[in-house]
Amino acid sequence: MSLALLMAISILQADAPAAGQPPAQPSDASAPAGASPTEDVPSDVPTDPYGFVSWCYGATDEYLAIYTKVLPDLKDIDKTIGSPVQEDVPYAKDVALEHKALDRFGAAMEAAQKADPSIAAQGQAAVAQGRAFWAGVESGPSRQLADAWLFWGIPVRCETTAKSLGEKHAG
């Protein structure tokens, strides 16, 4: 179950429709260009490449910050249901890969900022928005946060957009 789906379930439970009526479905028109229904990308993220990569940076950075909070729950989950991956520290290899992704996003942002220093404030706002993506689930029970952490992955579009942004502004 994706983080977006977990958040949607939480919202729907708080704002449940009358019995027998389905919850309102978001329209495809609200999704940013290139968004996929399977990606954890809210509809209000920036749509320009620099802003989007900045959002990805913030969401990934917060994801990595959450890791230390959820580590005890991750260990408990692995004990309870088992894991095919045998690591002393659960998901350490995944976290290392996510740090590399964060570095790629940062490099792409830096290249764009060198080309146009006036966009830095926009980037800061998008990074904050990406971090805030986790706020709803971070305020809940730790096990729900661990579940959300487990099921979230960097949207593919973050990687492809960061690559093209970096290449566009490569010096």
Q: What is the Cα–Cα distance from 58 to 129, expressed in whole angstroms?
A: 7
| Per-residue pLDDT tens digits for 85-125 | 677 788 899 999 999 999 999 999 999 999 999 999 999 99
Q: By the 8 A CB rule, do 39 and 57 touch?
A: no
Q: By the 8 A CB rule, do 167 and 109 touch?
A: no
Sign of the four-CA dihedral 123, 129, 133, 138 = positive
Cα–Cα nearest to 60, from 151, 150, 127: 127
Question: What percent of the chain shows pLDDT beyond 70?
Answer: 75
